[in-house]
Chain A
Amino acid sequence: SQQGEEDPQALSIQEGENATMNCSYKTSINNLQWYRQNSGRGLVHLILIRSNEREKHSGRLRVTLDTSKKSSSLLITASRAADTASYFCATVPVIGTSGSRLTFGEGTQLTVNP
């Protein structure tokens, strides 16, 4: 079952603008990851943030994590048309064999208009 929720479900912006997507989850986590999926293709791992981290950057990506609120956000700065894709957050639980699983959020469809 999916425990994550993402908002918005869909986001449409102009090239050059920033895009922010949010993810909420329900159980304690070891880490949270963000993935991108272009239409009909496989997922691409973007960035991972551990539960003891609050913010992480990678190029134009900025991820924050608030474990007290069980939420994360992904910011894409200076967006490009090539950023058009679905974005999923995924959590890894703290303990047990469930550590083999990723629990995905429902995803945000980002459209960047040229």
Chain B
Amino acid sequence: DTEVTQTPKHLVMGMTNKKSLKCEQHMGHRAMYWYKQKAKKPPELMFVYSYEKLSINESVPSRFSPECPNSSLLNLHLHALQPEDSALYLCATRGSSYNEQFFGPGTRLTVL
């Protein structure tokens, strides 16, 4: 069982669609992360929220728009994506000052 959940598990969208990825945690952690992972590659950091404020944006294109409505929820809004944006999108929370992270199961995104 994971205490970080992500929905949906799979998402197929066209380049003109608008969709959202959702992440929810019940661990009481105050830092939450979005990563993008391509096949056979390590995760690439996209955004970090700390105490519900955006603290790191890794120069991600504006077609990806993060949102942190409260300390338990993290959304990633998607609009006008490109086929190369197809990847596994992972959410994570930070456990302590040592920065061990707890990952959700991911959303497999396919952009047609």
Contacts of B31 on A, CB cut-off 8 Å?
100
> Which of B43, B45, B100 sits near A48, CB closer than 8 Å?
B100
A45 touches B42 (CB 8 A): no
Report which B residues bind A (CB closer than 8 A).
2, 4, 6, 31, 40-43, 45, 48, 50, 55-56, 88, 90, 92, 94-95, 97-106, 108
For B41, give its contact among A35, A97, A106 (CB under 8 Å). Answer: A106
Cα of A50 to Cα of B100 in the assembled complex, Å? 11
Determine if A31 and B99 form an interchain contact, defined as CB atoms under 8 angstroms apart.
yes
> A106, B42: Cβ atoms under 8 Å?
yes
Report if A99 contacts B (CB, 8 A): yes
Map CB proximity to B onto A60-101 as digits: 1 under 8 Å, 0 otherwise. Answer: 000000000000000000000000000010001000010111
Identify 22 residue pairs between A and B in the complex whose beta-carbon atoms are under 8 Å apart, listed by A's number. Answer: A31-B98, A40-B88, A41-B105, A42-B2, A42-B4, A42-B105, A43-B90, A43-B101, A50-B98, A88-B42, A97-B55, A99-B99, A100-B48, A100-B50, A100-B94, A100-B99, A101-B45, A101-B99, A102-B99, A104-B42, A106-B41, A107-B42
Cα A92 to Cα B103 with chains together (Å): 16
For window 16-55 of A, CB contacts with B under 8 Å fall at 30-31, 33, 35, 40-45, 48, 50
Assembly CA distance A41 to B89 (angstroms): 10
Residues of B within 8 A of A104 (CB): 42-43
**Given A40-B108, A101-B45, A107-B42, A45 contacting B98 (CB threshold 8 A):** no
What residues on A are CB-neighbors of B88 within 8 Å? 40
In the assembly, what is the distance between CA of A109 and CA of B39, in Å? 12
Q: Which residues of B contact A101 (CB under 8 A)?
A: 45, 48, 56, 99
Q: With a CB–CB cut-off of 8 A, which chain B residues contact A35?
A: 103
A residues less than 8 Å from B105 (CB atoms): 41-42
Assembly CA distance A101 to B43 (angstroms): 12
Instruction: Say whether, besides A99-B99, A100-B50, A43 and B108 are in contact (CB < 8 Å).
Output: no
Are A42 and B90 closer than 8 Å at their CB atoms?
Answer: yes
The residues of A that contact B48 with a CB separation of less than 8 Å are: 100-101
